[in-house]
Amino acid sequence: MIQPAANGLYHPANENDIVELVEYTIQNKLQVRVRGAAQSVVEGVYADGYNAATGAFGNNINIELDQMRTVTFGEGNSQVTVGGGCNLGTDPFDPSGVSELSQDKNLFFQLNQKGLAIPNVSGAIHQTVAGFISTGSSAGTMQHSFDECILSIRIIDGTGKINVFNKTDNTDDTFYAIPVSMGLLGIITQVTLQCVPAFDIIGEQATTPVADCAYDFFGPGTTDKPSLETYIRKTEFSRILWWPVKSLKRAISWKAKTMQPGDYTAGTGSVDSFKPKPYQPMFPALLGSTLPSEAVAVTGFQLIATWPDWIYTLHGNSRAESSFKEKMLELGLEIVFPYFYPLLTDFYFPVNTIANPPQIFWDNWLNSLPMDKVEYSGSLFNLAYSEMWVSADKAMQLVNVLENDYNTKGYSATSFYTVEILGAKKSNCWLSPAYGNDAVRINILYFQKSKVIPADYFQQFWDLLNKNNIPFRPHWGKALPAVVNLTDCYPKWSVWKTLRDQMDPHKIFLTDYWRGRLGLT
For the chain, give every domain's residue range. Answer: 15-197+488-518, 200-287+354-474, 291-348
Alpha-carbon separation of residue 62 from 33, 82, 257, 399 (angstroms)? 5, 21, 40, 40
What is the reported pTM?
Answer: 0.91
For the domain with range 15-197+488-518, which CATH number is right: 3.40.50.300, 3.20.20.70, 3.30.465.10, 1.10.240.10? Answer: 3.30.465.10
* 263 φ/ψ sector (left φ>0, alpha ψ -120 to 50, else beta): alpha
Which residues fall within 8 angstroms of residue 406, CB to CB, at 6 or more apart? 244, 245, 246, 413, 414
Greatest CA separation found in the chain? 75
Name the CA radius of gyration of the chain, rounded. Answer: 23
Provide the pLDDT for residue 487.
86
Gap between the Cα atoms of 337 and 334, Å rounded: 5
Distance of CA 131 to the CA centre of its chain: 11
Provide the pLDDT for residue 183.
98
Indicate the length of the chain as a whole number.
521
Query: What is the identity of the amino acid at 263?
Result: D
Per-residue pLDDT of the chain (521 residues; tens, 9 = 90+): 999 999 899 999 999 999 999 999 999 999 999 999 988 999 999 999 999 889 999 999 999 999 999 999 999 899 999 999 999 998 888 888 888 777 788 999 999 999 999 999 998 899 999 999 999 999 999 999 999 999 999 999 999 999 999 999 999 999 999 999 999 999 999 999 999 999 999 999 999 999 999 999 999 999 999 999 999 999 999 999 999 888 888 999 999 999 999 999 999 999 999 999 999 876 544 444 445 555 556 566 666 656 556 555 655 555 555 566 556 655 655 666 667 777 777 877 889 999 999 999 999 999 989 987 655 444 555 678 899 999 999 999 999 999 999 988 876 666 667 899 999 999 999 999 999 999 999 999 887 765 678 888 899 999 999 999 999 999 999 999 998 889 889 999 999 999 999 999 999 999 999 999 999 98
Tell me how crowded residue 201 is: count the other CB atoms within 10 A of its CB.
24
Q: Helix/strand/coil (H, E, C) string of 109-130?
A: HHHHHCCEECCCCCCCCCCEHH
Provide the pLDDT for residue 48.
97
Sign of the Cα torsion 393, 397, 398, 399 reads positive
Q: Are 305 and 327 in contact (CB under 8 A)?
A: no
Provide the pLDDT for residue 446.
83
Alpha-carbon separation of residue 73 from 76, 79, 194, 404 (angstroms)? 9, 6, 10, 51
Closest CA to 261 of 273, 252, 253, 270: 270
Gap between the Cα atoms of 87 and 132, Å rounded: 9
User: Which homologous superfamily does the CATH classification assign to the domain defined by 200-287+354-474?
Assistant: FAD-linked oxidases, C-terminal domain (3.40.462.10)
Q: Are 438 and 423 in contact (CB under 8 A)?
A: yes
DSSP characters for 411-433? HHHHTTS-EEEEEE--B-STT-T
Gap between the Cα atoms of 438 and 141, Å rounded: 10
Provide the pLDDT for residue 325.
57
Alpha-carbon separation of residue 467 from 312, 343, 440, 463 (angstroms)? 36, 35, 19, 6
Distance of CA 464 to the CA centre of its chain: 22
